[in-house]
A = this chain, B = another copy of it.
Amino acid sequence: MREISQDAAERHKAKMERRKAVQDAEVEGKTLEKGLLIVNTGPGKGKTTAAFGLALRMLGYGRRVGIVQFVKGAWHTGEKDALARFGDLVSWHAMGEGFTWETQDLQRDIAAAGRAWEKARELMADPALGLLVLDELNIALRYDYLDVNAVVETLKGRRDDLHVVVTGRNAKPALVEAADLVTEMGQVKHHFAAGVKAQTGIEF
């Protein structure tokens, strides 16, 4: 273990006392409670994964979570099996038809996005819902499968205490503008570049 002189320990204590004063003042200045519009975007990993982490946290308080997936279809994922443990607290809807390069059918992709958005609106009307995850909605918006202004207006008109998380690369400026919290996941290093494949428990 590192040896700490008494002098170093005292300097540390003084510094941390000042830091705590700043921290306490900051916390005191924040008094609002509101349902947040959260956007996880960027090219890096963790956009959807963090949304599921948030779902887990909300479920820990016994709050209902709705999940609409705009790209993923009915395929099997670890997170879906795991969330099945929470029974009726989770309302899961994989409404996609798969990646656009799989369907190769623009009309079909647009129709799927429309159905997914209808499901999202339906879930938003549930007064018991604490969190709504709109997974890969940014993809549907980017390709204009849905009208961004209509989507943003509906999201802004949600119940005051409903949290919504939107994931996917290339979030549209109008959505970022409307959001309370926007995180850009940046890719520093990726194992795919080293020839490692997508593995169970990590990518799906």
| Residues in A lying within 8 Å of B, measured CB to CB | 1-2, 4, 8-9, 12-13, 16-17, 19-20, 23, 26-27, 29-34, 36, 39-42, 44-46, 48-54, 56-61, 63, 77-83, 85-86, 99-107, 110-111, 114, 130-131, 144-145, 163, 176, 179-192, 194-202, 204
> CB-nearest residue of chain B relative to A111?
B1
Give how many copies assemble into the complex.
2
Q: Write 18 A-B pairs (CB below 8 A) sorted by A numbering.
A: A12-B106, A13-B104, A20-B102, A30-B197, A30-B198, A31-B195, A40-B46, A42-B186, A54-B202, A57-B77, A60-B80, A60-B82, A130-B201, A180-B194, A180-B196, A182-B188, A184-B188, A185-B185
Query: In the complex, are the beta carbons of B46 and A183 less than 8 A apart?
Result: yes
Closest 9 CB pairs of A and B: A60-B78, A49-B53, A60-B82, A60-B81, A53-B53, A46-B50, A182-B188, A57-B78, A52-B53
Q: From residue A175, how far is it (CB to closest CB) to chain B in Å?
A: 11
Assembled-state Cα–Cα distance A201/B191 (Å): 31
Is there an interface contact between B59 and A106, defined as CB atoms closer than 8 Å?
no
Chain B residue with the shortest CB-CB distance to A188: B182
> Do the beta carbons of A56 and B53 come within 8 Å of each other?
yes
